[in-house]
């Protein structure tokens, strides 16, 4: 596993964004782990988050893209932070575009988007926090495709939960690739998280012990892809 991925796992734990215990997800599933990107609340945390996303995008997709698209709401700060980080780390200026939940009907920036306008020929990378079922793409992809003749290069999320998507057969990220025809990747997977934290103390604490590992295994017996 690349060093930045190990650092990112520790970063999520430090920021209390990745938690372990007993959680009910939006999908109704009962999960022994939970990731909430809304937990990044300081300037230094957002700066670090943007750099991890930028490194993952550079590793996965290279530099051949024009726009980072962050769906409302959690994708908004992530895409902005990543655009800043990409300029800093790789010297490439990329634009960012965001969508609104409700269209603005007045002013110079009226419409359904914020940031840079999408233009014909743009190569777009979608940015999300986490994809459990892939449902968010059902709303976002038609918006982006409807705005201009763009190519969606791929999607990047923080964590691949490695569980079944809406179809109930393959993972949400694989389902997105099958349905929309673009790659979907994550900075880290839950397999990476388990490999790095299982029975391995971090700052004096074991986050995934035998009991929690058994709960995660049981969860994946039902929902794993």
Residues 6+ apart with CB under 8 A from 109: none
| 135: annotated active-site residue | no
Question: What does the alpha-carbon distance between residue 46 and residue 44 come to, in Å, rounded to a whole number?
Answer: 5
Instruction: Look at strands 111-115 and 95-104 and give their pairing.
Output: antiparallel
Residue 164 designated active-site: no
In the set 30, 88, 104, 110, the catalytic residue is 104
Instruction: Give alpha helix (H) positions in the chain.
Output: 3-14, 43-61, 75-90, 135-147, 172-180, 190-197, 210-223
- CA 186 vs CA 32, 87, 206: distances in Å: 20, 21, 24
Cite the active site residues. Answer: 104, 106
């Amino acid at each position: 596993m690349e060093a930045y991925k190990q650092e990112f796992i520790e970063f999520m734990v430090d920021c209390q964004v990745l938690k372990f215990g007993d959680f009910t997800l939006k999908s109704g599933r009962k999960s022994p782990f939970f990731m909430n990107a809304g937990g990044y609340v300081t300037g230094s945390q957002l700066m670090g988050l943007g750099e991890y996303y930028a490194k993952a995008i550079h590793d996965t997709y290279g530099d051949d893209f024009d726009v980072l698209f962050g769906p409302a709401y959690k994708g908004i700060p992530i895409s902005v932070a990543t655009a800043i980080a990409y300029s800093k780390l790789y010297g490439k200026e990329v634009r960012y575009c965001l969508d609104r939940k409700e269209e603005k009907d007045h002013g110079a920036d009226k419409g359904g988007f914020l940031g840079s306008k999408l233009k014909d020929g743009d190569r777009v990378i979608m940015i999300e926090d986490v994809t459990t079922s892939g449902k968010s793409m059902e709303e976002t992809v038609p918006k982006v495709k409807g705005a201009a003749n763009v190519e969606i290069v791929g999607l990047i999320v923080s964590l691949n939960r490695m569980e079944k998507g809406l179809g109930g057969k393959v993972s949400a990220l694989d389902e997105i690739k099958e349905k929309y025809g673009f790659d979907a990747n994550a900075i880290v997977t839950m397999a990476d998280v388990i490999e790095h934290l299982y029975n391995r103390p971090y700052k004096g604490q074991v986050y995934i012990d035998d009991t929690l590992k058994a709960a995660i295994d049981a969860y994946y017996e039902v929902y794993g892809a």
